[in-house]
Chain A
Amino acid sequence: MSRARWLVPALYIVFLMLPIYWLLAMSFKTTNEILGGFTLWPQRFTLENYRKIFTDPTWYLGYVNSLTYVVINTLLSVAVALPAAYAFSRYRFLGDKHLFFWLLSNRMAPPAVFALPFFQLYSAIGLFDTPIAVALAHCLFNVPLAVWILEGFMSAVPRELDEMAYVDGYPFWRFFLRIFVPAIAAGIGVAAFFCFMFSWVELLLAKTLTSVDAKPIAATMTRTASTSGYELGLLAAAGSLTIVPGAFVIYFVRNYIAKGFSLGRV
């Protein structure tokens, strides 16, 4: 590979890392230093911002709440998507194509359109301000995505596998759990990854459906920005911490990233 070609991804990655570096740098500065003027790196390195977050429940509970609904949503989305994807992959049935497209069309729905109706709906059924509400609401986008991804991976598994299991006398659920699921393990990983990703980053609905008890970290951050008037260091620390789960997940699936983005279909 010629030297010049290296420059393109290298420059791009530097571009990507700059704002992240800046956020991290800010998180280790005191508010005084930040507001006092421009400094490239912390002159007086401090862990005060992080200490505040780890000791103040208003802050760390925000993370707990966020992670809670993300995990619930991921498990739920993948669990219901598995049998549905199997049905789409293996059978034809009345209305199957239309159902599939309708599912995908929900991915095109602007969350802004659903903000108010969701607020009313989830309040009406008494789930307002719970992680379950957010987890369920996110299903609107994540379930179609999970079905789409899983169906792609499942279609790559030959139907002979199913037939052999029936001939060998396996009841359906045993076949599904013991034989089929391991065969599409990569697909489940990819689907879970994308569900986690979209649920973790989405915030309009998460904010709309919660107020105090189930407040996600995003809400805490935005409230801090507007009410207590610019505790930038604290904000930066909170933001930096939100990058951690994402970095973790990427590290674990690093070998599958390229394959995952092909979604088994490309």
Chain B
Amino acid sequence: MARIRLEALRHSYLKQPARDADWALKNVDLQWQDGGAYALLGPSGCGKTTLLSIVSGLLRPTSGRVYFGEEDVTGQPPDRRNIAQVFQFPVVYDTMSVYDNLAFPLRNRGVPPAQVDARVREVAALLDLEAMLAQRAAGLTADGKQKISLGRGLARSDVNVIMFDEPLTVIDPHLKWRLRSKLKELHQRIGMTMIYVTHDQTEAMTFANEVVVMHEGAVVQVGTPVELFERPRHTFVGHFIGSPGMNVLPCEVDNGVPRFAGVPVPTANAATGTRAGARTEIGVRPEFVRFADEGVPVRVVRVADAGRHQVVETRHADTVIRVLLKEHETVPAEHAHLAFDAAFTRLYVDGWVAGETA
């Protein structure tokens, strides 16, 4: 068991990377504590799978180092790093039984049969696979097979960290939550470090204690789900997390006061760091916008009923602003004004929240 530290990781799949876009990972510095449940969240192509492959040893980074505890493992192959990985689609050895699948990594390492048997049964019990030990692995359902994949990782007693690469991708939607809860339960029971890569924010937010949000090869923010929701450091985080995402309103900063449509908008952070030519925006979640008698003038365009709440789409000129209202609240007819809760409204400069460096 160890702490995992990533130092100045940069990676490109090309031999001669020239431009910024040629780098899959731009510069990653991260630290993961022992026993934590972490998520790597981001859209396709943001570099999360690359990062995972570097941590597991399947890929050697172009530059930078990976430390497990105090040991520099950057050059070590996967089977010496004591990691386990569960892939996007179930990887099982079709010709073997469930028992033999679970025993495979142990037998490859020369573990004596008695110990193998004990360990396999222990893991099978953990994963509710006991009844199927004698069955051929190929005959199980997708979620059963994913459990076998997971089981192969758990079976080894020397595992430092288990990594999941979008493991619920091929699972039936109505079974996803079952497997997700199982993973959470497992983490609480075993206390092993688990890193979960996904593009689905629900999966990330429900599984992890801490979420690492990635965008275009860089880490944009690291924080608890609540922090990410209430205090996004980058407009991307605000936009990506939450459904609907954060409203982003282009604004001008006039004497230190942000203004949208001429109306001054109070923000939680001070308008520092604005230089000429920078892109300034106001970010506020629909949850923290309400209709008021005065404020930003808008036209109500559409109301979507989402069960327990309503999403009202309003417009000012070309900008769309969404408001989240509870089920029974009345929606103004056509013209209205919006007020923003200052505690959760922030000014962003070139995408980053003003006052904090990138």
Tell whether any CB of A sits under 8 Å from a CB of B in the complex.
no
